[in-house]
Amino acid sequence: MLKQFLSRLPRKSPKSDPIDSPRAAGATVQRSNTAVRRTSSAVFPASLVAGIEPLLAFKDVPGSEKTNLFISKLSLCCVVFDFNDPSKSVTEKDLKRSTLIELLDFVASGPPRFTEPAILAMCKMCAINLFRVFPPNYRSNSHAGENDNDDEPMFDPAWAHLQIVYDILLKFVTSSSVEAKVAKKYINHSFILRLLDLFDSEDPRERECLKAILHRIYGKFMVHRPFIRKSISNIFYRFVCENERHNGIAELLEIFGSVITGFALPLKEEHKIFLWRALIPLHKPKSLGIYFQQLSYCVTQFIDKEPKLASTVIRGLLKYWPVTNSQKEVMFLGELEEILEAISMAEFQKVMVPLFMRIGCCINSFHFQVAERALFFWNNDQIVNLIAHNRDVILPVLFPALEKNAQSHWNQSVLNLTLNVRKMLMEMDEVLFLACQAHFREEEAQITFAIEKRKQAWECLENAASLQPMIGNTAVLVTP
């Protein structure tokens, strides 16, 4: 116990001036509150202070000493407190928070160029305060199953300090006083990876701060851009292929949405691979509704950049079509409509047969919202124009679904929409419509005849079996 107590006492550093030296005395002459200074020593050992009393205000030191004071205050803020107990270390927490606010004001004020030791101290302070492993109960398990918007997110109790640290890092990264050539040595791949790990935080406030910071890092450090894209892709791969649990997919997609707008044309093969291997498979998880808006934006941005990708995206959507999830089907239909509004005629013709086979299945869905959403396609002039130019192929594929709906769908709204679409297609090409109708009736008659024939065959077999006498020991199968 005695050794533990002695180990907590502040020690003097051979690299820093003693507290009672003339220089230290001159620097602290304006601070008469010795109790506060004693608190500073308790919060942070003097051995780690950069040679100047960290409790001094920036306005109280000459310009030549401000960098040293900046490093000293950063060192003071490297102590992490336990916020699970609000009554513990209250004075020290308040001191650290006030120091963090001073640092934020200093970085935001447009200081002179930051030296390499200052950049190192800044990255160290941010790493100590921000980079942490979330406990198992911190992550939400609801993302692995159905989307449950009623679950309240868990908020980090240390947010009073974390928020200021995030603000400092954001101001620091965007500051013109930071040279990217120097800072890239410390805001490196390891730093970026640990920053990306924090996107799994359940606190939405933290994810918003991380989104802003990573976006600025991507913009400032061009050398790190390929690594950031690759690292985010790996997060998507693990999310889709392993556990489907991650809290920050929406925020990462928002970052990528702005990144895609900056891609040069023609698109690199790397970017197309990302679309096919990362973005399109993100339609598969059950928690799609949480990040669907951001995902759809990224996909449409790719198509805006290179319209030839539209057919590739539609094939991907058909591959991952949620045949057992009606809510996801409605989302897919909405995304399909956006893609069809921008697709060229040549790309549309590549996928129109499997596409309208799927739309026909949606029209026949017993879930009325799915059927309605599919029939709403005919309210879009661009889609109607595509159908009209390719009606010879599309109408024979689509007609059976419309006819079945008109005959037997249970929902009146779906029935009315179906009749309107049938009327529109008949007015588009009456000869083709009547031919499809005749063909449909022939097929229905053939199916009815086959069913009747099969029924008669079974009746004949049953009659023949009933006439056969039971000979010898006949085994009888008794079903429970």
Do 319 and 356 touch, CB atoms closer than 8 A?
Answer: no
Q: Is residue 407 part of a domain?
A: no
The amino acid at residue 220 is K
More confident residue, 358 or 156: 358
pLDDT band at 392 (very low <50, low <70, confident <90, very high): very high
Buried b / exposed e along 343-372 (16+ C-beta atoms within 10 A): beeebbebbbeebbebbbebbbbebbbbbb
| Within-domain flag for 93 | yes
Tell me if 227 is assigned to some domain.
no
Write down the pLDDT at residue 477.
Answer: 53
Domain range for residue 84?
A: 10-135+155-187
pLDDT in tens, 332-359: 999 999 999 999 999 999 999 999 999 9
C-alpha span between 195 and 123 (Å, rounded):
12
CATH of the domain at 127: 1.25.10.10
User: Does the pLDDT of residue 442 top 50, yes or no?
Assistant: yes
Residue 16 lies in a domain: yes
Q: Is residue 18 part of a domain?
A: yes
Mean pLDDT of 400-410: 92
Going from the C-alpha of 284 to that of each of 206, 293, 316, 322, 325, the distances in angstroms are: 27, 14, 10, 8, 11
Domain assignment of residue 35, yes or no: yes
The structure tokens listed for 418 are 């179906």
Q: How many domains does the chain have?
A: 1
* DSSP for residue 469: P
Binning pLDDT at 50, 70 and 90, where does residue 151 land? low
Please report whether residue 469 resides in a domain: no
Does any domain span residue 24?
A: yes
Q: What pTM does this model have? A: 0.80
